[in-house]
């Protein structure tokens, strides 16, 4: 059983903010598995379990608020009796440009309070994490991470969530190193008023059936608001 923890804050005021992109990625995975709305609360997290593409996954959203995320992660690992190499933490990162993905097998918190709490509770930095770029702040960091995405970012947010969900699936199948080789070079398309690619081409508009082709596969489009 692979465990994926998405970092975020509970409460409607935090929904769709940059700091909650880890939760958004888990929502996308739950949608793919048909598990949306089937989670339950235990061990200070909202948890759902199921199988995606042949891999058993536990998806967990800590409900402790960001700064105490480690409490929930420690309880979850204890219940599942899972080794650290079965854990992936999905978190935002304002040191990365918006849309970049970055796998790492360990390392420090990088100023992220959620990751810092997990490191403190587990007593180690040796767990995999997927950082998702939310863009460099042009204001105080706390104001930036708790802000909502700009219009040009929301235009591409659905594509970013798909790519990040694909990255998590790759990690579950192939491990951190192979997933990193595939997804760390990922580049989200630039913002534009209209797509330049033709229908059916990579990053082109969706067809009449609402399906578009991305760099990581064919996806049915939906507005980001549907994840709320």
User: Got the DSSP string for 71-107?
Assistant: HHHHHHHHHHT--GGGEEEEEEETTS-TT-EEEESS-
CB-based contact 97:131 (threshold 8 Å): no
49: alpha, beta or left, given left = phi > 0 and alpha = psi -120 to 50? beta
Sequence-separated (6 or more) residues with CB below 8 Å from residue 116: 109
Cα-based torsion angle of the residue sequence 202, 171, 101, 210 in order, rounded to the nearest 10 degrees:
30
Q: What is the spatial distance between Cα 175 and Cα 173, in angstroms, rounded to a whole number?
A: 6
The answer to whether 45 and 118 have CB atoms below 8 angstroms apart is no
Q: What is the Cα–Cα distance from 79 to 84, expressed in whole angstroms?
A: 13
Verify whether residue 19 is a known catalytic residue.
Answer: yes
The residue from 19, 112, 144, 173 that is catalytic is 19
Residues recognised as catalytic: 19
């Amino acid at each position: 059983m692979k465990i994926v923890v998405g970092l975020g804050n509970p409460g409607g005021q935090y929904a769709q903010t940059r700091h909650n992109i880890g939760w958004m990625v888990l929502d996308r995975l739950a949608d793919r598995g048909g598990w949306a709305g089937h989670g339950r609360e235990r061990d200070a997290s909202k948890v759902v379990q199921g199988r995606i593409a042949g891999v058993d996954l536990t998806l967990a959203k800590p409900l402790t608020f960001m700064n105490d995320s480690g409490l929930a992660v420690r309880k979850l690992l204890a219940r599942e009796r899972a080794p650290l190499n079965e854990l992936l933490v999905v978190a935002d990162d304002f040191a990365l440009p918006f849309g970049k993905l970055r796998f790492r097998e360990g390392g420090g918190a990088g100023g992220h309070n959620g990751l810092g709490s997990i490191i403190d509770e587990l007593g180690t930095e040796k767990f995999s994490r997927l950082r998702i770029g939310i863009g460099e702040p042009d204001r105080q960091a706390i104001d930036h991470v708790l802000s909502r995405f700009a219009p040009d970012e929301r235009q591409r947010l659905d594509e970013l969530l798909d790519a990040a969900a694909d990255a998590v699936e790759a990690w579950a199948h192939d491990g951190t190193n192979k997933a990193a080789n595939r997804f760390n070079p990922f580049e989200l398309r630039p913002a534009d008023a209209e797509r330049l690619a033709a229908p059916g081409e990579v990053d082109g508009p969706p067809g009449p059936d609402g399906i578009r082709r991305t760099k990581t596969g064919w996806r049915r489009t939906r507005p980001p608001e549907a994840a709320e």
